[in-house]
């Protein structure tokens, strides 16, 4: 099939490369000429394990193309996947300006091709509020003309940053919202190579497909906020959230995924999609009170953890040097959007601290975001030199078994604020560290 991805961000690039890997002819379209030039050079603009190798292989085979030419990208495509960003505005509402712009561009090309063209499938791959896909259909039809044939569909993505290739190639499920049987058959054929592992492809109505994405992400966000709330109760009453989690997750009805205490969720999906559910509820007169609580708990979790730093050092951090290990919102990605580390760094700097940070892959993005707020270094031990404490914000593998003797030598005092519960309390006590974590009593804190 001839497929066009509109947007070469995280979703568009991964989707396009993976479709090309099964023999489809894929064109990735973007308005950013510099990004397209970067892609043509074989350079991946995002950090995603395995993606660069697949890009190079499919580009060399002639199955993968990059362009800024909208007319050429749309003209011969059997299906056009809209994969542009849908950021939240200052009120938490989903901003659809990129969706609308892409829709208008598609409509103009369809209009120029005329009514005798083979009907194209316009696929909403971006995460959009329920009802948006059908609104896009009406927008395109109004602009292109009622006699122009095309169909609309919604095909939400369920990709985890850091494991997106595996998620796409071996999905838990594929969800497709369609208007008719023909579109359903199109998706069955397109996704057949990816569901031969026995996992299902669900063909449903468009509104339900849009809602599946939000319901899924909102539920996972709820699990994260729930375990953090339980962790806070554990701290208040002297229980150990690690032991509580083990006993709780042994219940097969509960499971153990997304139930790790920490600094709360970040990234581009959970915060945005939780806010979108709140917005949809307000708009429909059906308040999403649970979603609001999930969001509030998540935001407070960062404040609560920072209060441990202030409590240890006093009312402010003037004259203190604080090291930060981990800046990306999760390991195996360079994505720093809504990252808890950024919140902690900014709070520390605002309280007078000198901040030095390190991340295995997100340093470049962090420098652009933080500017002079923090020094970002390229070696994890360089961040520790002369620091009064280290704050662990992301559970990268290289932080899990460090040389503690070297850490003690580099730090002014052996103080660790562990936002990911990487270390055993007994070990920290034996090594003489002052150690704060989440949902567990502090060690050697006086």
Residue pair 241/234 in contact (Cβ under 8 Å)? The answer is: yes
Active site residues: 269
Domains located in the chain, CATH noted:
2-204 (3.40.50.720), 206-446 (3.40.50.720)
Contacts of 153 (CB under 8 A, 6+ apart): 121, 122, 123, 124, 133, 176, 177, 178, 179, 183, 187, 206
Predicted TM-score (pTM) of the model is: 0.93
Secondary-structure breakdown of the chain: helix, strand, coil percentages, each rounded to the nearest 5: 50, 15, 40
Q: What is the pairing mode between strands 174-177 and 354-358?
A: unpaired
Per-residue pLDDT tens, the chain, 446 aa: give them. 999 999 999 999 999 999 999 999 999 999 999 999 999 999 999 999 999 999 999 999 999 999 999 999 999 999 999 999 998 887 778 899 999 999 999 999 999 999 999 999 999 999 999 999 999 999 999 999 999 999 999 999 999 999 999 999 999 999 999 999 999 999 999 999 999 988 899 999 999 999 999 999 999 999 999 999 999 999 999 999 999 999 999 999 999 999 999 999 999 899 999 999 999 999 999 999 999 999 999 999 999 999 999 999 988 899 999 999 999 999 999 999 999 999 999 999 999 999 999 999 999 999 999 999 999 999 999 999 999 999 999 999 999 999 999 999 999 999 999 999 999 999 999 999 999 999 999 998 66
Q: What is the pairing mode between strands 2-6 and 25-29?
A: parallel
- Start-to-end CA distance of the chain, whole Å, equals 66
């Amino acid at each position: 099939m001839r497929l066009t991805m509109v947007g070469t961000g995280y979703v568009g690039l991964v989707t396009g490369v993976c479709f090309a890997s099964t023999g489809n002819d894929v064109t990735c379209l973007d308005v950013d000429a510099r990004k397209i030039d970067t892609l043509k050079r074989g350079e991946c603009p995002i950090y995603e394990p395995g993606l660069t190798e697949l890009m190079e292989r499919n580009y060399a085979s002639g199955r993968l193309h990059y362009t800024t030419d909208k007319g050429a990208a749309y003209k011969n495509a059997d299906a056009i996947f809209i994969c542009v960003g849908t950021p939240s505005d200052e009120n938490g509402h989903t901003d659809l300006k990129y969706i609308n712009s892409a829709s208008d561009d598609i409509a103009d090309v369809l209009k120029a091709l005329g009514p005798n063209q083979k009907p194209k499938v316009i696929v909403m791959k971006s995460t959009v509020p329920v009802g948006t896909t059908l609104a896009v259909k009406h927008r395109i039809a109004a602009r292109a003309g009622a006699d122009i044939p095309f169909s609309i569909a919604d095909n939400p993505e369920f990709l985890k940053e850091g494991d997106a290739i595996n998620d796409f190639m071996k999905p838990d499920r594929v969800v497709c919202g369609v208007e008719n049987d023909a579109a359903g058959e199109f998706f069955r054929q397109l996704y057949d190579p990816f569901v031969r592992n026995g996992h299902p492809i669900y063909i449903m109505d468009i509104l339900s497909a849009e809602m599946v994405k939000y319901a899924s992400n909102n539920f996972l966000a709820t699990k994260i906020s729930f375990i953090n709330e339980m962790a806070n109760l554990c701290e208040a009453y002297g229980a150990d959230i690690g032991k509580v989690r083990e006993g709780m997750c042994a219940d097969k009805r509960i499971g153990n995924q997304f139930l790790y205490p920490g600094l709360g969720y970040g990234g581009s999906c959970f915060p945005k999609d939780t806010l979108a559910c709140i917005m949809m509820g307000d708009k429909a007169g059906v308040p999403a009170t649970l979603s609001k609580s999930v969001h509030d708990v998540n935001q407070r979790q960062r404040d609560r953890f920072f209060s441990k730093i202030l409590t240890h050092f006093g009312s402010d951090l003037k004259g203190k040097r604080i090291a930060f290990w981990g800046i990306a919102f999760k390991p195996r990605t360079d994505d720093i959007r809504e990252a808890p580390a950024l919140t902690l760094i900014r709070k520390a700097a605002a309280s007078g601290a000198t901040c030095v940070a390190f991340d295995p892959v997100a340093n470049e993005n962090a420098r652009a975001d933080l500017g002079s707020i923090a020094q970002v270094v390229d070696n994890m031990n360089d961040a520790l030199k002369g620091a009064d404490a280290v704050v662990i914000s992301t559970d990268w593998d290289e932080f899990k078994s460090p040389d503690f003797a070297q850490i003690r030598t580099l730090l002014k005092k052996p103080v660790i604020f562990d936002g990911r519960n990487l270390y055993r309390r007994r070990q920290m006590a034996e090594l003489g560290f002052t150690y704060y974590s989440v949902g567990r009593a502090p060690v050697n804190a006086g």
